[in-house]
Structure 1
Amino acid sequence: MNTDAAVWPVKSRDLHNHHFDSTVWDRFRFRDDDIVIATYAKSGTTWTQQIVGQLVFDGDPAVNVAELSPWLDLRVPPAEAKYAALEAQTHRRFIKTHLPVDALRYSPAVRYIYIVRDGRDVVWSMYNHHANANALWYEALNDTPGRVGPPIEPPPDSVRQYFLDWLERDGHPFWPYWENVRSWWQIRHLPNLMLVHYEELKRDLPGMMRRIAAFLDIPIDEARFPTQVEHCTFEWMKANAGKAAPLGGVFWDGGAETFIHKGTNGRWRDTLTEDDIRRYEARAVAELGPECAAWLATGRR
């Protein structure tokens, strides 16, 4: 990995809301072999954590990515608890973020994987996540001291209305979508960043796992590889959802299997109107430019 000629991103702002405290990155002590898994949210984060976990731990079925790979910029648990847990890890660490690049402290020595998914599919997955959240979820996000800004409220009954609110108010009620995708796309040429599309994982999981392993300099053990792939299939993850969902799924009605929901794309086609779709696609081009918008929609570059 040649980093000599690269121009590295510099953190220029902080993000705070019911979920975020981006200042946690300011005091985090990187290791040179750390892996950061970044997404907007509901874009394949847990799937990619599972892939990296299986590669790092040689296909061990007991790997619990929810415990091993914390969401560092989440306000809970406290930053010091996450620092201590990560400092105690002796294996190669892999850490999750949902921040845009300019709110993140970016290290030239670390490998970053950014996973993207069509915004319409993101919203459908997010709606399931939000609509099935229980009182513990709202208590953790809204009542933990230090929240900046308004609380997160229950979603409307209509997923279409949820989508329209998200589109009109850019990511409401979570956080801005377009700047997140745009910020990572703009640094796509950096040697320590790999961009992955959710559709690529669906089209060719074994091939993408080999690409990710190569990017991370993790040798493939051909004898173990079929088991690693099996442990990264949606069916296996759904059957073992307690190892992927935060705290085993206690924040959602239905538990961990609600968190690992369907994994399918295109469900919005049965609900959105032609005008809704045109508005979204026009916004994507305006926010991202035609090349990035096409990649976002198709997973092909």
Structure 2
Amino acid sequence: MNGFGSPKKTREFHNHHFDSSIWNDFEFRNDDIIIATYAKSGTTWVQQIVAQLIFNGAEDLDVAEMSPWLDLRVPPKEVKLPAVASQTHRRFLKTHLPVDALVFSEQAKYIYIGRDGRDVVWSFHNHHSNANDTWYETLNDTPGRVGPPIERPTRDTVQYFREWLEKDGYPMWPFWENIRTWWEIRDQPNVQLIHFEALKRDMPGEIRRIANFLDIEIDESRWDAILTHCSFDYMKAHASKSVPGGGIFWDGGAETFIHRGVNGRWREILPEEDKARYEARALAELGPECSSWLAFGK
């Protein structure tokens, strides 16, 4: 990669969750892996997959500790950066930033996971509805928050979806720019796009594709262990190892964070006019090729 056309950071992104300025001080290594999503798109699943590839199917990895969300503003960068710098394994970090708020390195490899926005919202509603007082205190009351606090959500998932669509990602952060900026750099040689639906259809095939992209040779004697440890049942049973803070931020603990891992729950619930409004917005925001990929993973 010669750097021509390489993405450049053009802005900072701050809110109740984010402090994008941490990337300005982050020192990349030449084998770093960055796992990126809008959120609730399979991030934890892909972190587990990458951990299994790096550590050759090892049991009971503390993936949440190994692979922090770097641009989450808590703990502050003064705490987070030294911790990440001390890691001796191949690093695999998580971001939910759009490309233009991220420092993009030619040294790193970037995996971006997409998922239909309606599935994202259904997962986010579970995540948000089950957040406890500790979650709100951490996001709203710790120093460094920019903008308004995050409020408790309506229990009506359809109303939650409508507000998210009408206000572009409310009460979290903008959706369309996140998808669009990563789609625009999909041809960069150190970027790979994958899709939640594709992982559901063919997890073994997608894991091999990820391994090839990351230049990791799979030990076939450990292949069955890798697949077992990347299964939904295994991750649900070992959720405290995969979920931030071991699940202390959600009622019901880590198992609440790793909820159901299914798509299409909105199909029988969301009114037809809301489905059509989402699809029209996706087409207008993303264009036909990207909106089709986001909907179907093909």
Q: TM-score, normalised by structure 1?
A: 0.98
Match of 1:260 in 2: 258
* Aligned residues of 2:3 and 2:106 also touching (Cα < 8 A): no
How far apart in 2 are the matches of 1:52 and 1:142? 32
Match of 1:116 in 2: 114
Match of 1:226 in 2: 224
* Aligned residues of 1:6 and 1:190 also touching (Cα < 8 A): no
Question: How far is the alpha carbon of 1:134 from its aligned partner?
Answer: 0.1
Match of 2:249 in 1: 251
> 3-state DSSP class of the match of 2:111?
strand
Match of 2:267 in 1: 269
Superposed CA offset, 1:203-250 (max 9, x none): 011111000000000001000011001100101100110111111100
> 3-state DSSP class of the match of 1:115?
strand
Superposed CA offset, 1:94-144 (max 9, x none): 000000000000001100000010000000000000000000000000001
Q: After superposition, where does 1:1-301 map in structure 2 within 5 Å?
A: 3-4=1-2, 6-300=4-298
Unaligned runs of 5+ in 1: none
Unaligned runs of 5+ in 2: none
Question: How far is the alpha carbon of 1:49 from its aligned partner?
Answer: 0.2
> 3-state DSSP class of the match of 1:207?
helix
How far apart in 2 are the matches of 1:150 and 1:5? 38
> 3-state DSSP class of the match of 1:113?
strand
> 3-state DSSP class of the match of 1:67?
helix
* Aligned residues of 1:16 and 1:22 also touching (Cα < 8 A): yes
* Aligned residues of 1:129 and 1:258 also touching (Cα < 8 A): yes
Question: How far is the alpha carbon of 1:80 from its aligned partner?
Answer: 1.7
How far apart in 2 are the matches of 1:294 and 1:247? 35
Name the amino acid aligned to 2:74: V
Alignment CA distance shift 1:223-1:6 (3 Å): farther
> 3-state DSSP class of the match of 1:12?
coil
* Aligned residues of 2:112 and 2:182 also touching (Cα < 8 A): yes
Q: TM-score, normalised by structure 2?
A: 0.99
Superposed CA offset, 1:120-177 (max 9, x none): 0000000000000000000000001111100000000200000000000000000000
Question: How far is the alpha carbon of 1:6 from its aligned partner?
Answer: 4.3
How far apart in 2 are the matches of 1:261 and 1:117? 16
> 3-state DSSP class of the match of 2:221?
coil
How far apart in 1 are the matches of 2:249 and 2:84? 23
What root-mean-square deviation, in Å, do the aligned CA atoms of Structure 1 and Structure 2 show?
A: 0.7
How far apart in 2 are the matches of 1:14 and 1:88? 26
> 3-state DSSP class of the match of 1:38?
strand
Superposed CA offset, 1:165-201 (max 9, x none): 0000000000000000000000000000000000010
